[in-house]
């Protein structure tokens, strides 16, 4: 019951998402808050990892958008930005001793790492899909909050899937 309650709180965190930028700051903050809420309520680490991966992509895209508006450009900036966030995330999780516990594995990988890989890939694909659909529609979204629906919706779908995969 605690896990379902935590997931419902997480979903409610996205309700006031009214801003729309590259990957909106409200979504980024909501994903970050969601990670803390999920962990606090004992939700499986693979699910927390999914949201951490999504957060890393979201904040990287947000940072790259900010850099573009300020005309900050250098070689491999995308790799440097994304890599920097992942180094900070991994260093923090390692320092807090959340990573590499021998009993915290799914499919032979650490649950947090597995979740981060899956969350990163799915969030990135959802964001790219949104940008492609927007481009094909003359630079406009097909419906209000399409970006939020596609990115956060993909994270919610993954959360539900892995909730049942990891349910004991």
Please identify which residue in the block is written with the tokens 């995969």.
165
Work out how many domains the chain is built from and give that number.
Answer: 1
Contacts of 50 (CB under 8 A, 6+ apart): 115, 116, 118, 119, 122, 155, 158, 159, 162
What pLDDT shows up at residue 93?
77
In a domain, residue 64? The reply is: yes
What pLDDT shows up at residue 58?
86
In a domain, residue 60? The reply is: yes
163 or 93, greater pLDDT:
163
In a domain, residue 10? The reply is: no
Q: Where are the alpha helices (DSSP H) in the chain?
A: 2-13, 25-40, 45-69, 77-95, 111-136, 146-166
In a domain, residue 3? The reply is: no
What pLDDT shows up at residue 14?
47
Confidence of residue 117 (pLDDT cuts 50, 70, 90): very high
pLDDT at 31 over 70: no
**Which residues, listed in sequence order, are joined to residue 106 by a DSSP beta bridge?**
109
pLDDT at 118 over 90: yes
The mean predicted confidence, pLDDT, of the chain is 78
> Which residue range forms the structural domain that includes residue 133?
21-166
In a domain, residue 1? The reply is: no
Average pLDDT of the residues in 53-80: 89
What pLDDT shows up at residue 157?
92
What pLDDT shows up at residue 27?
56
What global pTM score does this model have?
A: 0.72
Structure tokens at 65: 């958008």
* Residue range 102-113, pLDDT digits in tens: 787 888 888 888
- Distance from C-alpha of 152 to C-alpha of 42, rounded to nearest angstrom: 21
* Residue range 119-147, pLDDT digits in tens: 999 999 998 888 898 888 888 887 888 78
In a domain, residue 13? The reply is: no
In a domain, residue 16? The reply is: no
pLDDT at 65 over 50: yes
Phi-psi region of 107 (alpha: psi -120 to 50; beta: other; left: phi over 0): left
Please identify which residue in the block is written with the tokens 């979903």.
11
In a domain, residue 4? The reply is: no
């Amino acid at each position: 019951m605690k896990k379902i309650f935590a997931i419902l709180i997480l979903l409610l965190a996205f309700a006031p998402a009214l801003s729309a930028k590259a990957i909106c700051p409200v979504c980024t903050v909501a994903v970050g808050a969601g990670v803390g809420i999920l962990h606090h309520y004992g939700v499986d680490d693979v699910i927390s990892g999914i949201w951490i991966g999504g957060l890393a992509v979201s904040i990287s895209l947000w940072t790259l958008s900010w850099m573009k508006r300020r005309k900050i450009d250098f070689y491999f900036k995308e790799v440097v930005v994304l890599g920097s966030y992942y180094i900070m995330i991994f260093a923090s999780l390692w320092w807090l001793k959340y990573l590499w516990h021998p009993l915290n594995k799914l499919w032979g990988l650490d649950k947090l790492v597995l979740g981060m890989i899956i969350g990163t890939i799915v969030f990135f694909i959802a964001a790219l899909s949104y940008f492609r659909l927007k481009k094909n529609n003359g630079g406009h979204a097909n419906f209000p909050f399409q970006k939020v629906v596609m990115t956060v919706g993909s994270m919610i779908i993954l959360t539900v899937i892995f909730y049942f995969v990891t349910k004991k």
